[in-house]
Structure 1
C-alpha cells in the first residue's frame, strides 16, 4: 500500500510543482511583454503630445507675429518669442523619439525643414515691420508662401501622428494578445493544478483511510491491554486488601495468644516470686537482690508484652475509642523518641475498619518520622466534617524529594493502598528542608445500632 502510495504522491507533487513553474513562467513572460508594449505606448503618447505641442507653438508664433504686423504692438511679440524658443526643444524631443524609426525620422526631417522655413518667413516679416518697410512685409504676408508652409507642416505632422497612432494601436493589440495568452495559459495550468490536487486528495484520502484502519486496530489492542491492566490491577488490589485483612487478623490472633498465654505465664512467674519472698522471710542480701532483679525483669517483660500487643492490635482502640488511642500512641511515641508531639483531635464516628485505618496511618507516619525525619516537633490532627474525616501528621524534619522515592519503599505505598481501599485519598506534601505532611481524607460511615 505504502510502496504504491509514494510514487503517486511524488507524481502529484511533481505535477503541482511543474504547474506552479509554468504558471510563474507564463506570468513573467506576459508581464515582460505587456510592460514592453506599455512602454512603447507611453512613448507614443509622449511623442503625440510633443507633436501637438510643436503645432501649437508654430500656431502661437504665427498668431503673435501676425498680431504684431497688424497692430505694431510689441506685446504680441512675447508669445511669438516664447513659441520660437520652445520649438527647438520640441524638435529635439521628436528627433529623440523617432530615432529608431527610419520612416518617421525622414518625415520628421521634412517637418523640421518646413518649420524652419516658416520661422524664417515670420522672422523676416517681423524684422521688416520693425524697420518700417510696410510694402515688403505686406508683400510677404499677402503671398501664399506662408500658407503653403503651414499646410506642409500640418500634412507632415498628420502623417507622424497617424504613424504614431498606428504604433500605439499595434502595441495595444499586442498587450491584449499577451493578456489573452496569459489567461489561456493560466487556465491550462489551473486545470493541471486542479488535476494534481485531485490526485493528491485521492491519495491522501486513501492514506487516511488506511491510517484510520490501523488506528482502530491499535485502539482495539490498546483497549484490550488497558482492560487487562485494569483487571490485573483490580485483582492485585483485592489481593493486597485481603493480605492486609489477613495480616490484621493474624496480628489480632497473635496479640490474643500473647495476652492469654505469655501474659498468664509472666503473671504466674511474678506471683511465684512474690510467694518465695514471703516464705523465705529474712534472707541474705544477695538472695534479696536476686529476687528483686527477677521481679523487675518480669515487670519489664510484662511491659514489653503489653507494648508488643498494642503494636500488633491496639486494645485501647476497641476499649477506649479512636480519640484516646491516638492520644496514647502520640504520648508513648513522644516518650520513646523525644519528639514533642501535639495532638488536635476532634470526635469522629467511624466504623471499626476505618478507625483501624486512621490508627495505622498515624502509627506508620510516626514510625517513618522516627526513622528518617530527624524532627523535633510533630502534630497529629483529626478533623470531622459532614461527609468525611481528614487526618494529617506533620513534622518539622528534613523532608525529602517525593520524586526520588525508591520503588522498594513499601511504607508509603502500603499507607496509600490502605487509605484507598477504605475509599479515601492520601496526599504527601514534602520537600527537602521543609518537613513532611501526610494527610488522608476518608469518607464517614455512621456506626449502625
Structure 2
C-alpha cells in the first residue's frame, strides 16, 4: 500500500499538469476572494441600511416623546416658544416614518413594513390626540383639555408606540445579528478558501519546481549520455581511421611490392628472352646476308620489333617501379619524370628540387604523388605552364605541383575521384598532410608535407 501511495505521489510530482494546476489554484483563489469581497460588501451595505433604519426608528420614538414634552410645557407655562419644538418634533416624526417606509422597501422586509404601518397608525393617533388637546387649550377650554389628557388615551398610544418600536428594534437586531453572522461566515469561508487555494498553489508550485529539477536532471543526464556517446563515436572514428590508414598503407605497400616483383620478373625473365632473341637475330644476320639476302628486310623488321619490345618492357618496368628512384635517388627521378611529361605534353615543366632526407617509402610516396598530379594535368588541366618544387620547411619535406589550367571546385569533386583520394591516403599513411587548392579558371596547386627521416644515432651509424 505504501509503495502504491509513493508511486502515485511520484507520478503526481512528475506530472506535466503541475504548472496548470498552480495557475488554476491561483485563479480559483482570486475568484473566491472576489466573491467573498462582493458578498461581504453586500452584507455590510445591508447592515448599514438596517442600522440607519434602526436609528431612524429610535429617532421617531424620541420625536414623539419630544412632541409630548413640548405640549406639556406649553400647557403648563402658556409660553408660545414651546410650540416651535412641538411642531418640529411632530414633523420630524412624520418624516421619519416616511424614511422608514423607503428603507424597508429597499431592504425588502415586508414584516417590518407591516409593523411600521401599525406604528404609523399609532403615531398618527398619538399626534391627533396631542393636536386635539392643544386645540382645546388654545380655544380656552382648559378643563376639557385637561380632562382629555387624564383619560389615558395618550398614555395608551405611547405604550402602543413603544411596543411597536420595541418589536421593530427586536426584529432589526435579529436581522442585524443574522447579517453579522453571515458576514463572519463569508469571511470564514473566504479564509478557508484562500488558505486551501494557497496550500494547493504551494503544493503545485513545489510539484512544478520538482518537475523542473527532474527535467534539469534528465537533460543533464541526456547531455552526459550524448557527450559520452560522442566521445565513444569519436574514439570509434579515430580507431576506424587508424585502421583504414594502416590498411591503406598495407595495400599501398603490397601494391608496390607486387609492382616491384612484376618489374623484376619482367626485367629478368622477359628481358632475358628478348635479349636472347636479339642475340640470335644478330648471329643469323651474317649468314642470311650471304645465303638469303631477300630475307634481310624481314630480319630488319624483326630486329625493330625486338627493340620496340625491349623499349616497351623498360617503360612498363619504369611505370611499375621506377629504377631511377632506387638507383639515382628522389631528385634525379623527379627531374627525369618531369622531363618526360614535359616532352609528352609539349609544355615546359619548371622544377626546383632540393635534396631532402626521407625514408624509402616516403620517397616513393612523393614520387607517386608527383606522377599522379602530372597525369591529372595531362588529362584535364589544359595547362600552359607547370611547376614542381621540393624543399625542406620547418623540419618537413614539402612538395608542390602547380599548374595554370582550367582548375575545378574542390567542394564539388565526386567521391569516385580515386586519384585525389589515393594521394591523400598515401600521404596520411606516411603521417603527412595533403592540401589541394583550386578554383575554376585559376589553376590547381597540390601540396604535401611529409616528416623527414629521423637522424641516425652515433651508435647506429657506427654499426
Q: TM-score range by the shorter chain?
A: 0.5 to 0.7
Is the counterpart of residue 210 in structure 1 residue 218 in structure 2?
yes
2:343 aligns with 335
Q: Do the aligned residues in 1 keep the contact of 2:408 with 2:439 (CA within 8 Å)?
A: yes
CA distance in 2, matches of 1:232, 1:296: 54
1:18-417 pair list within 5 angstroms: 19=26, 198-281=206-289, 287-417=295-425
8 Å CA contact 2:14–2:211 kept in 1: the answer is no
CA-to-partner distance for each residue in 1:382-418, whole Å, 9 max, x for gaps? 0113510110111111111112222222111111011
Q: CA RMSD in A?
A: 3.4
Kindly provide the CA deviation profile for residues 417-437 of structure 1, in whole angstroms up to 9, marking residues without a partner as x: 110111110001011111111
Kindly state the Cα deviation for residue 228 of structure 1 after the two structures are TM-superposed. 3.5
Change in Cα spacing, 1:323 to 1:196, as seen in structure 2 (3 Å) is same
The Cα shift of 1:313 comes to: 0.8
TM-score under structure 2 normalisation?
0.56
The structural deviation recorded for 1:335 is 1.7
Bigger mean CA offset, 194-203 vs 345-354 = 194-203
**1:12 and 2:33 equivalent?**
no
- How many Å separate the matches in 2 of 1:326 and 1:304? 20
Q: In the alignment, does 2:433 pair up with 1:420?
A: no
Please state whether the residue corresponding to 1:375 is helix, strand or coil. Answer: coil
CA contact (8 A) 1:351 1:447 kept: no
TM-score normalised per structure 1: 0.57
| Aligned-partner Cα distance in 2 for 1:350–1:379 | 22
1:281 alignment partner, SS class: helix
Contact 2:289–2:296 (CA under 8 A) maintained in structure 1: no
| C-alpha contact (below 8 Å) 1:399/1:431 kept by paired residues | yes
Q: CA deviation at 1:349?
A: 1.5
Cα distance in 1 for residues equivalent to 2:308 and 2:204:
95
> How much does 1:293 deviate?
2.0
Q: Cα distance 1:391–1:11, how it changes in 2: closer, same or farther (>3 A)?
A: same
- Quickly say closer, same or farther: Cα 1:441–1:6, change in 2 above 3 A: farther
Residue among 428, 441, 447 paired with 1:433: 441
TM superposition shift of 1:191? 9.9
Gaps (5+ residues) in structure 1?
A: 27-186
Across the two proteins, how many residue pairs are aligned to each other? 291
Secondary structure at 2:401's aligned position in 1?
Answer: strand
Structure 2 unmatched runs, 5+: 1-6, 34-193
Bigger-Rg structure (1/2): 2
Q: Whole-Å Cα distance in 1 between the matches of residues 28 and 268 of structure 2? A: 100
